[in-house]
Amino acid sequence: MSVPVVRDELVTTLEESVRVARQLADDARDDDVPVAELVAQATMLGRLDERREELIDQLRRTASAGMRATQPGPPIREVVLAALDELGWPQNAGFLEEYLWAKRQLQLDSRAFAPLRRDERRAWQRTPGGRAAYIVPALNPDGTANPRWLSSSAWDLDRRVIASPQTERLLDLQKIAALRVRGSRGPLGTLLERYAQEILEIDPPPSSATAAQTAAWRAHVRAHTTALIWQIRERDDPHRQRVARRLARLPGHDQLWGQEWAQRQG
């Protein structure tokens, strides 16, 4: 489906959503309207919201494909490695998908990261060390792979270790720290507001907020995030370093890709 067609359907969906929402608000004020009718209208509004999200996702994919076709860029693996370097810490596929869209308007389905990581491993097996960096999983304290978190083989081992739940908390906070936003909200600003709400439970500024109020909100979020990060790192850095020194005794392959469960048991 072309972008103009998707846009037209999105407009129709949004207009219908506004109509249903207004009707629901009016009926909710009317004590004579049965509750069952309010529930039915709310259900319809929910379906329209789902359709809106489907259309937005389709727009993202179509726009990204068009951009890649007209402005060919580096291979996807290089884009992902560059994003990891920008973030500076391991990250999960879902956040990387959202970050790449917000930063570069590149739509990469999070389900594509698993085959990408397998391709990276096969490339390493063909020519170990043939590339400056590989997309690799983070490592658990026992040396097994933690595929939920993607990292770069170019990083020191202690940065690739998920030593404890506190490490995962640190990585979640690093999402917020990496989202440096200036000016209007835009895709990065919206992403920052979403993760500040999810991770820090800080509500985003209202849509009516002035530029100064939004800047003050961002400064507060950044200061709070920085304080939490250093509070965690004070304990977690030494822990990860101890684990990394132990894992450094593993063969080179296992340091990158994780040792197999059977090997660990043996």
Tell the residue number behind the tokens 């920085």, with chain if given.
226
Q: Give the pLDDT score at 200.
A: 96
Give residue for tokens 């391709």: 119
d(CA 252, CA 248): 8
Give Cβ neighbours of residue 40 (< 8 Å, ≥ 6 apart).
Answer: none
- Residue whose C-alpha is closest to residue 46's, from 5, 26, 16, 12: 16
pLDDT at 227: 97
pLDDT at position 266 = 43
Count, in order, helices (H) and strands (E) of the chain.
10, 2
> DSSP letter at 164?
S
Distance in angstroms (rounded) separating the CA atoms of residues 113 and 264: 26
Place of tokens 């990891």: 84
Distance in angstroms (rounded) separating the CA atoms of residues 129 and 153: 10
| pTM, full prediction | 0.75
All residue ranges of the chain with pLDDT < 70 are: 1, 63-73, 261-266
Q: What is the pLDDT of residue 114?
A: 83
Can you tell me the distance from the alpha carbon of 143 to that of 257, in angstroms, rounded to the nearest whole number?
9
Return the pLDDT at 203: 94
The domain locations on the chain are 3-70, 76-265
Nearest of 266, 229, 263 to residue 145 by alpha carbon = 263
**pLDDT tens by residue, 176-213:** 999 988 877 788 999 999 999 999 999 999 888 998 99
